[in-house]
Amino acid sequence: MEMLLGTTPAVFIGLTVILFGGAAFMTGQALAETWRPLWHALPYTVLLAAGARFLTYALFEGALLSLSGYVITLVILLAICLAAYRMTQARRMVVQYPWLYERAGLFGWRDKS
C-alpha cells in the first residue's frame, strides 16, 4: 500500500482526505456559489493534489514524484470537489428559484408540478 500511495496510509488519510479534502470541498462550494462552470474544478484540484503531494514529501518524507500517489490523490480530491459542487448547486437552485424547483435528494432538484 505504501508503494501505491507514496506514503503511509495514515499520513495519506490525514493529509489528503481530511486536510486537502476539506479544501477541495470548499473549492467545490465556492465554484457553485459563484456559478462557475464545472470544468473549473479540474485545474483547481490539480493544484490541490500537487500541494498535497508536496506537503507529504516535505513534512512526512513521502515520495514526491510518485505518479500513482498523485493520481490517487487527484481522483479523491476531484470526487470531493465535484460532490460539493453538485450539492451546493442543488441547494442554490432550490433557494434562488423556489417557484420553479424543489429538492430531489442531496444532489438534485426537479421541476415543481
AA identity, residue 26: M
Q: Where are the domains of the chain?
A: 2-87
**Cell 465556492, residue located:** 30
CB-CB neighbours of 21 under 10 Å: 21
Q: Is the full-model pTM beyond 0.75? A: yes
- Cell numbers at 112, concatenated: 415543481
State phi, psi for 31 to the nearest 5 degrees.
Answer: -65, -40
**20-46 per-position pLDDT tens digit:** 999 999 999 999 999 999 999 999 999
- Cell numbers at 69, concatenated: 500517489
Which pLDDT band holds residue 1 (cuts at 50, 70, 90)? confident
